[in-house]
Amino acid sequence: MVTNLPIYLDHNSTTPCDPRVVEAMLPFFNSAFGNAASRSHAFGWQAEEAVKCAREQVAKLIGAEPGEIVFTSGATESDNLALKGVFEMYAGKGNHIITCNIEHKAVLDSCKHIEKLGGEVSYLNVKENGLIDLAELEAAIRPQTILISIMYANNEIGTIMPMKEISAIARKHDVLLFSDAAQAVGKIPVDVNADGIDLLAISAHKMYGPKGVGALYVRRKNPRVRLTAQIDGGGHEKGMRSGTLNVPGIVGLGKACELCLMEMEEETVRLGSLRDKLENALLQMDDTHLNGSKGNRLPHTTNISFKHLESEALMMGFSKELAVSSGSACMSATPEPSYVLKALGLDDELAHSSLRFGIGRFNTEEEIDYAIEQVTKTVSRLRETNPLREMHKNG
């Protein structure tokens, strides 16, 4: 029996803070409130020790060294620091960056900013499954190329990029590789050394941690990556990101990483099973279409188009029962169809009819059964009153 409505199925947008994360954070709001940069008394030492522990927890989750973790306000800031920081630092080597057209807006808009500064950016297209063409990637590399920026997993369709193959190409041509891994870290195994990644963005609130905190992994050897800081001040975070550290948030990020490391394997199996149950049931309806790759994607994500229906009308139909989205949260204010789905080759009508379902740690099988029932019922009801569908059926 489902009692807590609406059911939250938008975990790609954000996740609830795990109670164990909140518990770890609480002391650092009041009793242990010190500034981690205060080196002259016990309050500062306690905060500094907590940050050190969190740095180790974050590093362990992605196979990095603690000294390679730079704390930020989230993946958007990490994206900005990586892209702009590399562009400025390596200006003497070149000014060309390669990315792809389904990246998060934090990457795409940073690239647009770099273009205004005189940089050159190549935007790779993706195939209908959401993957880039590796031959096209290699062909796009020039002598002036300093960075390849490819997201680890897409936030709308869940497609996982072939990072090891991408990094092999980057290494072959002596080009740095950055990946926005906000959707991947904590959901699937990510190892910066095995994957050959030089810079990697992380966000706490995508993996049951608090909002407003994240990290950027910056490789220290083979090669040693250097960045120009984008926020100047007291030289915190080895001079890469000035500002008083958000100690409670950093503690929360660290605890979230620790929990993901412990529970990811089991959680992946459970969420994958729930996702498949939801997806298989919804795809049995007529005129439904799965967007992206069926095999190579995040275990908790599915994106489905319901032909001849507007996604907004669908969501209004079950808004009191279910919380889902029609795409990325950062784009929810725009009436335009998803640029990610358009990049896959979907026409405007199909792109406008899509829903993204993101299943999470606290969802139950009963909730998925209820979601299937509500979506099916709403789709059927709306289609009965939709003249477009009747016209289509009649040719």
What is the greatest pairwise CA distance in the chain?
79
Catalytic residues: 330
Distance CA 150, CA 134 (A): 12
Tell me the one-letter amino acid at 22. V
Distance CA 190, CA 184 (A): 7
> Running DSSP on this structure, what letter comes out for residue 325?
B
On whether the CB atoms of residues 69 and 215 are closer than 8 A, the answer is yes
Write down how long the chain is. 395
Q: Coil, strand or helix: which one is 6?
A: coil
Which residues, listed in sequence order, are joined to residue 69 by a DSSP beta bridge?
217
What's the order of all strands across the beta sheet hosting 145-149? Answer: 69-72, 214-218, 199-203, 176-180, 145-149, 96-100, 120-124
Distance CA 248, CA 268 (A): 28
Distance CA 262, CA 101 (A): 34
> b/e per residue, 188-206, with b = 16+ CB within 10 A?
bebebeebbbbbbbbbbbb
- 288-to-325, 351, 372 alpha-carbon distances in Å: 17, 12, 14
Q: Name the phi and psi angles at 352, rounded to 5.
A: -75, -10
On whether the CB atoms of residues 321 and 6 are closer than 8 A, the answer is yes
Determine how many CB atoms are found less than 10 A away from the CB of residue 47.
Answer: 24
On whether the CB atoms of residues 263 and 299 are closer than 8 A, the answer is no
- 13-to-202, 274, 360, 388 alpha-carbon distances in Å: 14, 18, 11, 31
